[in-house]
Structures are given as C-alpha cells and as structure tokens.
Amino acid sequence: MSLLQKILTLFRGTAHEAGQAVVDANALKILDQEIRDAGNELIRSKEELTKVMAQRQLQANRSKDRFAKKAEYETYIAGALRKGDEALAREVAERLATVETDLRNDEQAIASYDASITQLKTAITATERKLARVKQQVDTVKATEAVQRAQTAVAARHSGATGKVTTALDSLERIQTRQAERGARLQAAAQLEAESGDGDLNAKLANAGLLPESTSVDNILERFREKPVQQLGHEPLSLPAVEVKDAEHVERKN
C-alpha cells in the first residue's frame, strides 16, 4: 500500500470515527426521528390499505352489477328460446358469455384484493406492535439516560466538593506550617537578642541572687548566715509624736 493510500485510509477512518462520535452523541435524537419516520410510513401504509379496500369494494360493486346483468340475459335467452327465436337467443348468449368472462375476472381481482388486504393488515398490525415496543424501550432508555445524567452530575458535584475540601485542608495545613515557622523564627530572634544583650546576663545574675532586687531562697539563707541573730530581730517601730492640739483638732473634725 502506497503512502497516499494510507493517508486516504487515515482520512476515511478519521471521518468514520468523527461521524460515529456525532451519531453516539445524538443517539436519542436520531432514534426519535427514526420512530417518527416509522410512524409516518405506517400512516402511509394505512392509506394504501384504505385505497386497496376501496378498489376492492368498487370491483365488488361492478361484479354485483354483472351478476344482475347475467340474470337478466339468462331471462332473455330463455324467453327467446320459448318463442323459437334462435337468432335472438344466440345474440343474447354472446353478451352473456362476455358478462360471465368479466365475472370470472372480477372474482380473480377480488381474490387478489382480499389477499393484498390481508397481507397489508398483517404487516400494519405487526409494525404497530413493533413500534409500540420500540417506543416503550425508548422511554426506558430516556429514563435511564436521565437517571445516569443525574448520577453523573451528583458524582461530579461530590467530586468537586471533595476536591474543594481537600484543597481547603491543604491550605489550612500550609497556613499552620507558616505560622509554626514564623513562631519558631520569632522565638529564635528573641533568644538571639537575649544572648547578644544584657537579658541573658541579668537572667543568670537573678538566678544566682546577685542582683539587688532579686530574691531567692539561697539569697535569703545567705543573708541570715552573714548577720548575727540579734541583728535580725525586729525593733519596735517608733511613731512620731503628735501634738495635743492637733489631736483635739482631729477629734473636732471627726
């Protein structure tokens, strides 16, 4: 196979796939149209059946008239023979022969019409039943298609919601990670600042009880060890003297 033939084959295959994809995407629409076409054909078949039945009825009416004409000619022949008019009887007999031939043709035509009518009725009845079954199946297919579309939409929404929740959890985790990193950086910065300044030294002096304002258990015990016991007693507090007149003045105010 030459390269050009392969390219043409590729084009045909691509066109077939594209056409099949279009057909599959519009399968329900195509099916509905096919059902409408079948219904229209069924209507035309019924119209044809009506025409055949009408033609059969016309043929039957003509045959009925010929039967009446046959009976009339037979009466004429019998009368002519009774009168001995052989020539008249023969002339009427010739016409009767034509009528009888037409009657035989009528019988064949009517039988053919009856056979056609029976076949058409059978075909129409079978087509109506098939079309009714197809319509029921189409209704089932449409209902199934609607349910599947709804399920697909629900699944898509659920998948989207799950994806959004997952994304939100990821975002929350990233925020918490950034906050933890920021807290660690702030703590490290505070530690570096304390080590580079007086903060760390003051903390060590306070723990050792060497700062004047520091108070620790070891500092208190050391203070008691360094002073004699009598110096650690509490002397009574001396209150300043208050003049009498000031006291009286206070009493009057009260």
61: which DSSP letter? H
Angle between helices 86-196 and 27-82 (to 10 degrees): 170
| Spatial separation of the C-alpha atoms in residues 177 and 175, rounded to whole Å | 5
241 phi and psi angles, rounded to 5 deg: -70, 145
CB-side neighbour CA atoms (13 Å) of 213: 2
Give domain status of residue 192, yes or no.
no
Question: What range does the domain containing 24 cover?
Answer: 3-170
| Spatial separation of the C-alpha atoms in residues 1 and 3, rounded to whole Å | 7
pLDDT reported for residue 84:
87
Contact status, residue 63 vs residue 103, Cβ threshold 8 Å: yes
Residue type at 109 in one-letter notation? A
- Region of 227 please: left (phi>0), alpha (psi -120 to 50) or beta: beta
**159: confidence class by pLDDT, cuts 50, 70, 90:** low
* pLDDT tens for each residue of 110-154: 999 999 999 999 999 998 898 888 888 888 887 887 787 777 777
Structure-block tokens of residue 115: 């056979």
| Spatial separation of the C-alpha atoms in residues 249 and 246, rounded to whole Å | 5
Q: Which residues make Cβ contacts (< 8 Å) with residue 55, sequence separation at least 6?
A: 113
Tokens 């077939």, residue? 16
**186: confidence class by pLDDT, cuts 50, 70, 90:** confident
Q: How much of the chain exceeds pLDDT 70, in percent?
A: 71
Closest CA to 102 of 57, 64, 53, 52: 64
Give domain status of residue 148, yes or no.
yes
| Spatial separation of the C-alpha atoms in residues 38 and 157, rounded to whole Å | 40
Q: Is 35 helix (H, G, I), strand (E, B) or coil?
A: helix
Give domain status of residue 228, yes or no.
no
For the range 135-143, what are the long-range contacts, defined as Cβ-Cβ under 8 Å and sequence gap of 24 or more?
A: 135/35, 138/28, 138/31, 138/32, 138/35, 141/28, 141/31, 142/28
Give domain status of residue 33, yes or no.
yes
Contact status, residue 42 vs residue 128, Cβ threshold 8 Å: yes
Give domain status of residue 246, yes or no.
no
Give domain status of residue 121, yes or no.
yes
| Spatial separation of the C-alpha atoms in residues 35 and 33, rounded to whole Å | 5
CATH of the domain at 60: 1.10.287
Give domain status of residue 245, yes or no.
no
Give domain status of residue 123, yes or no.
yes
**209: confidence class by pLDDT, cuts 50, 70, 90:** low
* Domains held by the chain: number: 1
| Spatial separation of the C-alpha atoms in residues 41 and 45, rounded to whole Å | 6
Q: Which of 100-109, 184-193, 197-206, 238-247 has maximum average pLDDT?
A: 100-109
Q: What is the pTM of this model?
A: 0.51
